[in-house]
């Protein structure tokens, strides 16, 4: 008679979710990525997934864990990285030159057809590039990775203002909440309960993700650039009228693939953004997160002028493999992890 444990073992879905053929494609594309950067003299780096500091970003939730062992009389709180951005910037400040990393990153609460709480991010930084030069390079890499799988037209590059104007007839830099709401309703959207009445940022996210993004990147790469200042994240702000954040996102087949910045290098401004995040977290009842003092110190020491981008490798693989869910290209997604 099999024991209860043996029964459970037999019922368990131990086999990988992704087909072995897809896993071979994953390996092959990783090789292509490494060759691409090798040919450009960009160094691969490896920074820790565990960090003493978390992210203050309102819309990211870090996994927390604790270290107990030598040197920690009380156990020490650690966070799993949501991206390798901060330690990579410390390397840049230390004079590493251009660098890239293929990193496992972790985001709590994110699960769906296009989300798994653990995924692979390809992140790289280029000295003396602005966001436009980096968009050129992102387009080159994606073209190489997808050349055997999808025929793509010439990439298009549209500013955030232009994309809102084109699809919704709105000026995202000046529009008010009432107009955003009526535009959403006009698009057949049921406005979610509890949307803020003073902050346009979640409204812009709502309209972009529901009404615009699904129409972007049809048979071609679509880059959106120059974001409203409220969406600057870690991008530097160009003082125009209206001022814009030198940030970009890449869409293909209606799916967001990458996010990049002409990187903010002003330590004082970075500190202000951390503080602003922290106040907003407090106002929304989110836990206070201690920000990364090492990052601020590195920026003070001097971050070279650079642009950086993070590309969702699993999503790109999903497109190369012709799949429609992230889980189909992962050996063991969350449910089977």
Partner 1 sequence: MATYSTSEFKSGLKIILDGDPYAIVENEFVKPGKGQAFNRVKVRNLKTGRVVERTFKSGDSVEAADIMEVQMQYLYNDGEFWYFMDQDTFEQIGADTNAVGDSSKWLKEQDVCQVMLWNGTPLSVTPPNFVTMAITETDPGLKGDTSGGGTKPATLETGAVVRVPLFVQSGEIIKVDTRTGDYVSRAKE
Does 19 engage in binding with partner 1 (CB under 8 A)?
no
231 touches partner 1 by CB under 8 A: yes
**Rounded Cα gap, residues 87 and 49, in angstroms:** 10
Cβ pair 320, 114 in contact under 8 A:
no
Nearer to partner 1, 93 or 326 (CB): 326
DSSP letters, 8-42, are: HHHHS--S-SS-HHHHHHHHHHHHHHHHHHHHTTP
**Contact present, 216 and 248 (Cβ < 8 Å):** no
Say how many residues touch partner 1, by CB under 8 A: 31
Shortest CB 126 distance to partner 1, Å: 19
Q: Which positions from 134 through 193 interact with partner 1, judged by CB under 8 A?
A: 189-193
Sole binder of partner 1 in the list 210, 220, 294, 323 (CB under 8 A): 210
Q: Is the dihedral of CA 54, 60, 61, 64 positive or negative?
A: negative
Specify the stretch interacting with partner 1 by CB under 8 A; choose among 3-11, 96-104, 204-212, 270-278: 204-212
Which of 23, 114, 237, 325 binds partner 1 (CB under 8 A)? It is 114
Helix axes 85-93, 293-302, angle to 10 degrees: 30
Binding mask 289-328 vs partner 1 (x if CB under 8 A, - otherwise)?
A: ---------------------x-x----------------
Decide the pairing of beta strands 43-44 and 99-106.
Answer: parallel
When the beta carbons of 78 and 252 are compared against partner 1, the nearer one is 252
| Contact pick of 17, 43, 49, 195 for partner 1 (by CB under 8 A) | 195
Nearest to 252 by CA among 305, 164, 337, 319: 319
Q: Would the CA dihedral through 56, 50, 89, 71 be positive or negative?
A: positive
Q: Is 48 in the site for partner 1 (CB under 8 A)?
A: no
| Chain residues that interact with partner 1, rule: CB under 8 A | 57, 59, 109-115, 189-195, 201-202, 205-206, 208-210, 213, 231, 233, 249, 256, 259, 310, 312
């Amino acid at each position: 008679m099999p024991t209860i444990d043996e029964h459970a073992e037999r019922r368990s879905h131990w086999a990988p979710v992704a087909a072995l053929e897809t896993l071979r494609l994953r390996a092959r594309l990783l090789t292509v990525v490494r060759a691409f950067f090798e040919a450009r003299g960009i160094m691969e780096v490896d920074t820790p997934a565990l960090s003493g500091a978390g992210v203050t970003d309102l819309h990211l939730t870090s996994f927390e864990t604790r270290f107990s062992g030598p040197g920690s009389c009380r156990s020490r709180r650690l966070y799993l990285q949501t991206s390798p951005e901060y330690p990579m910037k410390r390397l840049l400040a230390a004079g590493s030159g251009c660098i890239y990393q293929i990193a496992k990153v972790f985001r709590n609460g994110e699960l769906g057809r296009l989300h798994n709480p653990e995924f692979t991010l390809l992140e790289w930084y280029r000295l003396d590039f602005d966001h436009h030069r980096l968009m050129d390079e992102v387009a080159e890499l994606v073209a190489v990775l997808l050349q055997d799988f999808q025929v793509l037209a010439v990439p298009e590059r549209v500013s955030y203002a232009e994309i809102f104007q084109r699809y919704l007839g709105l000026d995202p830099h000046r529009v008010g909440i009432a107009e955003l709401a009526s535009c959403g309703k006009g698009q057949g959207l049921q406005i979610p309960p509890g949307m803020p009445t003073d902050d346009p940022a979640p409204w812009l996210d709502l309209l972009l993700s529901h009404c615009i993004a699904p129409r972007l990147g049809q048979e071609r790469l679509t880059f959106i650039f120059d974001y409203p200042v409220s969406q600057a994240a870690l991008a530097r702000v160009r003082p125009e009228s209206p001022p814009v954040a030198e940030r970009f996102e890449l869409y293909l087949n209606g799916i967001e693939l990458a996010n990049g910045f002409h990187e903010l290098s002003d330590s004082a401004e970075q500190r202000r953004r951390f503080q602003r995040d922290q106040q907003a977290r407090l106002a929304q009842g989110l836990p206070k997160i201690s920000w990364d003092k090492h990052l601020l110190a590195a920026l003070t020491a001097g971050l070279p002028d650079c642009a950086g981008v993070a590309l969702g490798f699993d999503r790109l693989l999903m497109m190369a493999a012709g799949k429609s869910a992230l889980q189909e290209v992962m050996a063991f997604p969350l449910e089977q992890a």
